[in-house]
Structure 1
Amino acid sequence: MSKTIQWYPGHMAKAKRIVAEDLKVVDVVVEVLDARLPHSSSNPVLKDLIGVRPVVVALNKSDLADSTVNDAWVHYFDTKGRPAALINAVDGKGIRQLMQKVRQAGSAALAKLQNKGLRPRPVRVMIIGIPNVGKSSLVNRIVRSASVKTGDKPGVTRGRQWIRVDANVDLLDTPGILPPSLPDQKSALLLGLCGALKDTIYATDEAAMELIRQLERRYPGRFGDRYLKGRDLSVQSLEELLAEAARTQGLLGKEGIPQIDNMSRLILADFRQGRLGPISFEEPSDK
């Protein structure tokens, strides 16, 4: 029996209220998405909160995604009026390009304020995203080259720390927010695969089978070449493929019974370490 994934802890409602309050004083929003699954890692709740504010999309972990699909996503978001940058928040790749897009979006927002007679000031930027999508890594990467924390801003927010990135940008971090529900369990499994959900709330073997299904659909032969020594896979179900992979890898229990749990964990670990090569689970044309 499949395990239905429930994933909206109670503290998320509080996080949503915090973000809604902070957005009142923000000029530009940076939404961090997982480049491997931009649809599923986007939070519709955040979209409603953002409203008409300028949004710059940070497609994080782009080094783990298919480069051709990455380019298609950048084009897709550009056509939607949401400039996007491919980044790797861990090593800093693409951060400079991202901040250039942020400054461009912010300059237009500040021009509107100045037309109303307000004094010039740095662009106020908020970085948002679901938990474990790489938001904190991005903030840390930006802050490394930033000046000191500016502290609370009178009349703006209390208890929040603003970071002066440079003379033109102030940065405010936010808590990660999960949507209260997912459109389907496949999206939940994909998020689990990519580390956005705790391993304890989904079935490891189901996640492994979803990964196999995605590989067979999008990258035929990659799973078999690594785990089955190139054997013919055409007549086997996902369950049979997983069991056969366990046999091939020598993961057997008593009486030669395949150790499905251990094989599932091996596949997930290989994927998360990038050993299966660059993989994209979603393309703009999927929805």
Structure 2
Amino acid sequence: MSVQWYPGHMNKARREIEEVMTQVDIVIEVLDARIPDSSQNPMLNTLRGDVPVLRLLNKKDLADKSRLDLWLEHWRGSETVLAHPFSTLDKADVGRISQWVSQMVPHRGSAEKPIRAMIAGIPNVGKSSLMNALLGRRVAKVGDEPAVTKAQQKLKVTNGFQILDTPGILWPKIENPDASYRLAVTGAVRDTAIDYEDVALVGLKFFIADYLDALMTRYKLKDISTDPYDVLRVIGSKRGALRSGGKVDMHKAAEVFLNDVRTGAIGPYVMETPEMIAHEERLVEEAKAKKEAERQARLAAAVPQRQQASNRAYRNNQTQQTDDQAQSTKHDENTNDKQ
């Protein structure tokens, strides 16, 4: 099972992006540094074609640098992809964007031929904050929940640099269920579209396996179960997520944990590596191939049944024609006898 969320305005945004992509010199794709692959939109990669992309791994202060370096190495060497750790709160990072963009589009950048950049990304990765930081004023609404931006805005950064903002869009179907839960854990999916407890359990399973010390330190645990449900119950107990009678409110406990994960209170982390994503993609392709094979098998099995039905219909039709002919002959004979 995976988490899915695709509001109507996102379909409209997809069409708008497709229409303006021919006018864009570079895409500035804002990613969540904690999920560098899951926060990419494969639909955007399809739409941009050969248009170069500057990938800003935003919220770098919340990310595990050692794992982030694996992604920078993974993308290094590509002629159409440039990636950098980034923070909209770091003025030095914001100041380097013009340099990075010029590096990717050296043939433009004058007042006559300004660089036309599209800012894109999935919900809640920091696109609006980036626009405000680039322009030095509040021109885009910023929110702590996904899908705050709903329409495109075209603005001038300098005489040689223009930006076009787009609404944050997820894709219609997230095929990798693991990726969909990572998106939910980090807050890219609106909370009304998820089950808090399910998502928290997925997040806890990850932290138990990959960042156990940080988890134990945050919640002052001397020992810890390998069962995420038990750990969530302990967290709820320690953080006062209780109902009458002292029973732990698991939904409230999940809210507490996910808030700590999203704000970085547990510590920096990255939930995926290039090697892990390659493995998951193979599993997704194998599952799709298996599903298609099963579909083809059902179609093949249905052919004889359809043929049998067709044969029965043909025989019934022939029988009916014979009966009709016999009835007509009998009628003619009766008519002749009367005459």
Give the TM-score, by structure 2 length.
Answer: 0.72
Match of 2:34 in 1: 36
Q: Aligned letter for 2:102?
A: R
CA contact under 8 A between 1:84 and 1:98: conserved in structure 2?
no
Q: Aligned letter for 1:121?
A: K
Q: Pick from 265, 276, 279 the counterpart of residue 255 of structure 2.
A: 265
2: CA distance, partners of 1:145 / 1:247 = 44
Q: Aligned letter for 2:221?
A: K
Q: Is 1:286 matched with 2:285?
A: no
Q: Is 1:88 matched with 2:80?
A: no
Q: Pick from 205, 211, 215 the counterpart of residue 207 of structure 2.
A: 215
Q: Structure 1 pair 249/124, CA: closer, same or farther in 2 (3 Å)?
A: closer
CA contact under 8 A between 1:32 and 1:128: conserved in structure 2?
yes
1: CA distance, partners of 2:73 / 2:212 = 26
Q: Aligned letter for 2:267?
A: G
Q: State the Cα distance separating 1:212 from its structure 2 match.
A: 0.9
Match of 2:72 in 1: 74
Q: Pick from 116, 126, 142 the counterpart of residue 118 of structure 2.
A: 126
2: CA distance, partners of 1:86 / 1:105 = 17
More helix by share: 2
Match of 1:205 in 2: 197
Q: Is 1:59 matched with 2:57?
A: yes
Match of 1:188 in 2: 180
CA RMSD, Structure 1 to Structure 2 (Å): 2.4
Q: Aligned letter for 1:8?
A: Y
Runs ≥4 residues deviating over 4 A: none
Q: Aligned letter for 1:85?
A: H
2: CA distance, partners of 1:61 / 1:218 = 20
Select the structure with the greater relative contact order (CA < 8 A; seq sep ≥ 6). 1
Q: 1:133-212 residue pairs with structure 2 within 5 A?
A: 133-144=125-136, 161-212=153-204
Q: How many percent of aligned residue pairs carry the same amino acid?
A: 34
Q: State the Cα distance separating 1:184 from its structure 2 match.
A: 2.7
- Who wins on radius of gyration, i.e. which is larger? 2
CA contact under 8 A between 2:186 and 2:262: conserved in structure 1?
yes
Q: Structure 1 pair 230/99, CA: closer, same or farther in 2 (3 Å)?
A: farther
Match of 2:18 in 1: 20
Match of 1:274 in 2: 264
Q: Structure 1 pair 52/190, CA: closer, same or farther in 2 (3 Å)?
A: same
Q: Aligned letter for 1:11?
A: H
1: CA distance, partners of 2:257 / 2:92 = 27
2: CA distance, partners of 1:92 / 1:204 = 35
CA contact under 8 A between 1:252 and 1:259: conserved in structure 2?
yes
Deviations 1:253-274 (A, max 9, x none): 2333222111111111112222
1: CA distance, partners of 2:250 / 2:137 = 46
Q: Aligned letter for 1:75?
A: E
Match of 1:238 in 2: 228
Deviations 1:98-117 (A, max 9, x none): 33111111114x49xxxxxx
Q: 1:44-55 residue pairs with structure 2 within 5 A?
A: 44-55=42-53
Give the TM-score, by structure 1 length.
Answer: 0.84
Q: State the Cα distance separating 1:20 from its structure 2 match.
A: 0.8
What's the secondary structure of 1:164's corresponding residue? strand
1: CA distance, partners of 2:63 / 2:184 = 16
2: CA distance, partners of 1:95 / 1:78 = 21
Q: Aligned letter for 1:61?
A: K
CA contact under 8 A between 2:3 and 2:184: conserved in structure 1?
no
Q: Aligned letter for 2:250?
A: I
Q: Is 1:252 matched with 2:250?
A: no
2: CA distance, partners of 1:97 / 1:75 = 20
Segments of 5+ residues of structure 1 without an aligned counterpart are 112-118, 147-158
CA contact under 8 A between 1:85 and 1:94: conserved in structure 2?
no
